[in-house]
Structure formats: C-alpha cells, structure tokens
Amino acid sequence: MKQSVQVSILGQQFNLRSDAPPEQVHRVARFVEDQIAQVTSSGRAVDSLQAAILALLNVSAAHLGDESSSASPGVDDQRLSQLVEKIEAALG
C-alpha cells in the first residue's frame, strides 16, 4: 500500500508516494542530497537544477557501469526510470 512520505531536497519539501517503508524513502532522499552536495562542492554546477541533473548523471553512470553485475537489470532499469520520472516531475 502506497503511503505519503515528506522529504526535503535542496530546501524544498516533496511529498512522495511509495510502497517502500518511510525509512527507505528518507534514505534515498539523503543519498540524493549527498550526491547533489558532492556536485556543488566541486564547483561544477551553477544552480540547483544543474546540480540535480549532474548528480543524476553521476548516479546513472555508476548504475549503468554496474549493470553487468546486476542480478536483474530490468528491475533496476525500471526503478531508475521511475526515479528519473519523479525527479523530472518535481523539477518541472
């Protein structure tokens, strides 16, 4: 059963609906924050949208690089696509 979980990313509040336990949703949000912080601390991004996109590209590259070691890449690809859709919806 989907439940609503509120998370904060880049100072913005997002209400996410997920079947995952709230702790997992918060863990994902912290991971996203950490990835964006790495990009912004490197000076590669000018604004928060650029930082979010660069962080997503970094995570995607790491994921796709590990694809051959994944037990079920189709499931991972689907989850990644869903995350990308959520990020795009939140930014758009």
Q: Where are the domains of the chain?
A: 23-91
Mean pLDDT of 41-70: 80
Mean pLDDT of 48-73: 78
Who's near 56: CB < 8 A, 6+ residues apart? 35, 84, 87
Mean pLDDT of 18-22: 92
- Residue 92 has a pLDDT of 62
- Residue 87 tokens read as 């990020």
Residue 74 scores a pLDDT above 70: no
Checking phi first, is residue 76 left (phi over 0); if not, alpha (psi -120 to 50) or beta?
Answer: alpha
Mean pLDDT of 10-36: 92
> pTM for the whole thing?
0.66
Closest CA to 55 of 2, 10, 23: 10
